[in-house]
């Protein structure tokens, strides 16, 4: 009787110990992590190139001799652009801050009364960027300043050159293709004013103020 009781107690003890051990195994199993990563690391330097198209509205005002006689007119330029960009990003969690410089050559032209074309030949911008890292995608906005170079043509074919300056605001989407290469599309709105174009013919003087809208696509290489 005592032996049987001892045996039953031992079996019960072993059963409870086995159950407790099994429970420990179940409880100690690692729980899969559900924390989501931002994916691509956008921090660091980058450089690349782009191509695009631009269009806008330019308001002309000026004078010519005899008089002087004042005049105004409006033009709607359009044309191609191509250039390079270089920048640096700083990433804090999923927020990406950046500073970027762009330099473009352009063939953005508008016909004038002489039958020739006035043109924006080159321009550059320096902008701050803020974006949100969403896996391999980086939507962003930008704001900055710009300068440029333009050519005006007077009647008779005389050319004059003037600088342009203004501001730029835009938005874009960048997508990581590999760990070090990304592709992007971007829209920019540029407001600008030129220095005075001065012509010897009829002592012509012309100022231009207006806007330019651009869309472009390109590649960035991070390093």
Q: Would you list the DSSP string of 140-158?
A: EEEEEEEEEEEEEE-TTS-
- For 6, counting Cβ atoms within 10 Å of its Cβ (0-12 exposed, 13-18 middle, 19+ buried), the class is exposed
| pLDDT computed for residue 108 by the predictor | 96
CB 52 within 8 A of CB 219: no
pLDDT tens-place string over residues 134-159: 999 999 999 999 999 999 999 888 99
Half-sphere exposure of 51 (CA within 13 A, CB side): 1
How far is CA 110 from each of CA 54, 114, 118, 135, 145, rounded to the nearest angstrom?
12, 11, 5, 42, 23
How does pLDDT run across 185-199, given as a tens digit for each residue? 999 999 999 999 999
Least confident of 110-114, 118-122, 177-181, 194-198: 110-114
pLDDT given at position 1? 42
Residue 188: both structure tokens together:
């920019």
Evaluate whether 217 touches 183 at the Cβ level (below 8 Å): yes
- 211-222 per-position pLDDT tens digit: 999 999 999 999
**Residue with tokens 């203004």, as numbered in its chain:** 166
The answer to whether the bond into 66 is cis (omega within 30° of 0) is yes
Secondary structure in 3-state letters for 163-197: EEEEEEEEEEEEEECCCCEEEEEEEEEEEEEECCE
* Per-residue model confidence (pLDDT) at position 39: 78
Q: Please give the structure tokens belonging to residue 180.
A: 């070090």
Mind listing the pLDDT tens digit for each residue in 12-56? 443 444 444 444 444 445 544 333 455 789 999 999 999 999 999
Q: What are phi and psi of 98, to 5 degrees?
A: -150, 160
- Domains observed in the chain: 44-222 (2.40.160.20)
- Of the candidates 65, 89, 211, the one whose C-alpha atom is nearest the C-alpha of residue 146 is 211
Q: In the structure encoding, which two tokens stand for residue 88, read together?
A: 């640096």
Tokens encoding 101: 């410089």
**Is the pLDDT assigned to residue 176 strictly greater than 90?**
yes
pTM of the model: 0.81
Alpha-carbon dihedral sign for residues 123, 126, 128, 131: positive
In angstroms, rounded to a whole number, what is the distance separating the alpha carbons of residues 15 and 12?
A: 5
Per-residue model confidence as pLDDT tens digits over 54-86: 999 999 999 999 888 999 999 999 999 999 999
pLDDT the model gives residue 35: 35
Secondary element (H or E) of residue 162? strand 159-176
Mean residue pLDDT of the chain comes to: 87
**Which residue in the block uniquely carries the two structure tokens 């191609």?**
80
């Amino acid at each position: 009787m005592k032996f049987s009781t001892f045996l039953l107690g031992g079996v019960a003890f072993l059963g409870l110990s086995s159950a407790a051990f099994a429970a420990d195994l179940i409880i100690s199993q690692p729980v899969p992590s559900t924390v989501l990563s931002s994916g691509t690391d956008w921090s660091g330097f980058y450089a690349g190139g782009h191509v695009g198209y631009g269009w806008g509205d330019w308001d002309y005002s000026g004078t010519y001799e005899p008089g002087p006689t004042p005049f105004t007119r409006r033009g709607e330029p359009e044309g191609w652009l191509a250039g390079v960009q270089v920048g640096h990003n700083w990433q804090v969690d999923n927020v990406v801050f950046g500073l970027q410089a762009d330099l473009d050559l352009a063939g953005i032209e508008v016909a004038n009364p002489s039958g020739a074309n006035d043109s924006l030949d080159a321009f550059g911008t320096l902008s701050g960027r803020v974006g949100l890292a969403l896996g391999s995608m980086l939507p962003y906005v930008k704001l900055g300043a710009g300068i440029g170079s333009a050519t005006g043509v007077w009647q008779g074919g005389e050319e004059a050159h003037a600088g342009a300056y203004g501001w730029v605001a835009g938005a874009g989407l960048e997508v990581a293709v590999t760990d070090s290469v990304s592709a992007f599309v971007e829209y920019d709105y540029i407001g600008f004013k030129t220095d005075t174009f001065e012509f010897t013919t009829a002592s012509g003087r012309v100022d231009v103020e207006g806007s330019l809208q651009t869309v472009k696509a390109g590649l960035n290489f991070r390093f």
